[in-house]
Amino acid sequence: MALIVQKYGGTSVGSVDKMKAVAKRVIECSQEGNQLVVILSAMAGQTDRLIQLAGEITDHPDPRELDVLLSTGEQVSIALFAMIIKSMGYDVRSLLGFQVAVLTDRLYGKARIRKVETARLKRELKRNRIVAVAGFQGLDSHSDITTLGRGGSDTTAVAIAAVLNAEVCEIYTDVNGVYTTDPHICPKARKLDAISYDEMLEMASLGARVMEIRSVEFAKKYNVSIHVRSSFSKERGTMVVAETMDMEKVLVSGVAYNKDEARITVKKVPDNPGIASQIFKPIGEAGVVVDMIVQNTSEDGLTDVTFTVSKSDFYNTMKVVRDVALEIGAEKVLGDEDISKVSIIGVGMRSHAGVAQTMFETLFRENINILMISTSEIKISCVIEEKYTELAVRSLHKVFGLHNEKLQER
Ligand code: ADP
Ligand code: ASP
Ligand code: MG
């Protein structure tokens, strides 16, 4: 008898009919003799609707109350799902984050899991029940509800799989697995049979939302085996695993994009020691995560500092940076929201020169201007104008030999 954790995303539970299909799948797996913990997301679009409702009241909803609100989406899903399983004649228990207890820190909206208790889960499983757990939510040290950040149900699932030592954590979604790039924008994307934790981490951090980044961090840390697959087919999906030797041979294994970034430039900053710290300290204190940073070589003792933040942090950051700019005597602050970041990823890049050049040349051939560049051992990212995202992704996908040539371009 194996213990299996399954997570179903928003589209997979987007209607009662879809939930019924999920329930059948879960029951089949249970009939094969497995113990099942099923993590559910809110029904498709529900979290966005709740955010919009809060936005009708204020631009800055109280973070504590926002988490109380957002966590309701998943509560609806587990209750309906449990009713369906019961109506099919099987025993089931729905559990909210606090009932499990998924314990987190106090960072509302992006809380980190500190600990997951196993007693209640184990008790329910021992009674031969299917356990349905609300994803994306936890409880902080003050017994307040927290949420884990968008896409956080993946993290709930992997954390629970880790503490229960589950045989596998299956992430059910609306595509057949992890592809060489987003199959919704590049129809010739190829499904990968396996991907290493490190590559999946890079892909996730660079915008491929098929798995949420913290869930991959968890999986890597606790060696949880992950199977990303479709809710709508029986096809085998993608295993996310520790790196193996033959993975080294692939030069570039994926292309990712992120349209959720904005660029800020502080012009003509006096090039003195401590300036970077003066700019970025208040940004950090405002809880904003900065992604890429570029500082130009200085001319006449003045330099430009450019960086990116997520679009949701743009206005807030602009405000903070304008104040700093005045203090340090910078000339002005420029902002641009119409950008996106396109990246190529591959562990094989470590040992190959020329990959960056191929990327730059490909973008040049398509007449796409590169606004910023950043590299690491296993990725190269370029910031470009947002309107060229799809073109850039498809061209890079092709030039690095990732196209599935068996498929016709749609
Ligand atoms: P869920 O609601 O099931 O969590 P998400 O929308 O969060 O689903 O993630 C699945 C989506 O991720 C896919 O529909 C696809 O458009 C997108 N995606 C982006 N990059 C990739 C990739 N490399 N492979 C597969 N899907 C990707
Ligand atoms: N419902 C949450 C969201 O839409 C969490 C999740 O789906 O994983 O982000
Ligand atoms: Mg998701």
Best substitution site from 8, 38, 41, 154 to test ligand 2's pocket, by max atoms within 8 Å of Cβ?
41
b or e along 345-381 (b: 16 or more beta carbons within 10 Å of the residue's beta carbon)? bbbbbeeeeebeebbeebbeeeebeebbebeeebbbb
Q: Among 174, 198, 226, give the residue marking a domain's end.
A: 174
Q: Give the ligand 2 atom nearest the CA of 73.
A: 1
Q: Is 144 among the domain residues?
A: yes
Task: Judge if 168 and 280 occupy the same domain.
Answer: no
Residue 44 domain boundaries: 3-174
Q: Among 111, 141, 174, give the residue marking a domain's end.
A: 174
CATH number at residue 52: 3.40.1160.10
b or e along 12-50 (b: 16 or more beta carbons within 10 Å of the residue's beta carbon)? bbbeeebbbbbbebbbebbeeebbbbbbbbbbbebbeeb
262: left (phi over 0), alpha (psi -120 to 50) or beta: beta
Task: Judge if 7 and 138 occupy the same domain.
Answer: yes
Task: Judge if 29 and 145 occupy the same domain.
Answer: yes
Task: Judge if 41 and 147 occupy the same domain.
Answer: yes
Best substitution site from 66, 96, 136, 214 to test ligand 2's pocket, by max atoms within 8 Å of Cβ?
136
Q: Is 73 among the domain residues?
A: yes
- Contact by Cβ (8 Å): 75, 96: yes
Burial of 336 from C-beta contacts in 10 A (0-12 / 13-18 / 19+): middle
Q: Whose CA is nearest to atom 11 of ligand 1?
A: 210
Q: Is 192 among the domain residues?
A: no
pLDDT in tens, the chain (410 residues): 899 999 999 999 999 999 999 999 999 999 999 999 999 999 999 999 999 999 999 988 999 999 999 999 999 999 999 999 999 999 999 999 999 999 999 999 989 999 999 999 999 999 999 999 999 999 999 999 999 999 999 999 999 999 999 999 999 999 999 999 999 999 999 999 999 898 899 999 999 999 999 999 999 999 999 999 999 999 999 999 997 666 556 788 899 999 999 999 999 999 889 989 999 999 998 889 999 999 988 888 999 999 999 998 899 899 999 999 999 999 999 999 999 999 999 877 877 778 999 999 999 999 999 999 998 888 999 999 999 999 999 999 999 999 887 765 44
Task: Judge if 21 and 118 occupy the same domain.
Answer: yes
pLDDT, residue 408, reads: 55
CATH number at residue 291: 3.30.2130.10
255 lines ligand 1 (CB under 6 A): no
CA distances from 24 to 3, 81, 158, 351 (A): 18, 11, 22, 47
Residue 257: nearest ligand to its CA?
1
Residue 151: nearest ligand to its CA?
2
Q: Is 378 among the domain residues?
A: yes
What CA–CA distance (Å, rounded) separates 172 from 197? Answer: 18
pLDDT, residue 409, reads: 47
State the DSSP code for 408. P
Q: Is 193 among the domain residues?
A: no
151 lines ligand 2 (CB under 6 A): yes
Task: Judge if 124 and 27 occupy the same domain.
Answer: yes
182 lines ligand 1 (CB under 6 A): yes
138 lines ligand 1 (CB under 6 A): no
46 lines ligand 1 (CB under 6 A): no
135 lines ligand 1 (CB under 6 A): no
CA distances from 391 to 49, 185, 362, 387, 402 (A): 31, 9, 11, 8, 15
Q: Among 143, 174, 205, give the residue marking a domain's end.
A: 174
Task: Judge if 169 and 269 occupy the same domain.
Answer: no
Task: Judge if 268 and 134 occupy the same domain.
Answer: no
Q: Is 204 among the domain residues?
A: no
Task: Judge if 165 and 263 occupy the same domain.
Answer: no
pLDDT, residue 80, reads: 98
Task: Judge if 127 and 275 occupy the same domain.
Answer: no
Residue 189: nearest ligand to its CA?
1
pLDDT, residue 103, reads: 98
DSSP three-state, residue 24: helix
Q: Is 61 among the domain residues?
A: yes
* Range list of β-strands (E), 10-67: 35-40
Task: Judge if 164 and 313 occupy the same domain.
Answer: no
Number of domains in the chain: 2
281 lines ligand 1 (CB under 6 A): no
Residue ranges with CB less than 5 Å from ion ligand 3: 9, 151
Task: Judge if 267 and 160 occupy the same domain.
Answer: no
Q: Is 354 among the domain residues?
A: yes
What CA–CA distance (Å, rounded) separates 173 from 165? Answer: 22
Give ∠ CA 141-143-147 in degrees, rounded to 5.
85
Read off the pTM.
0.92
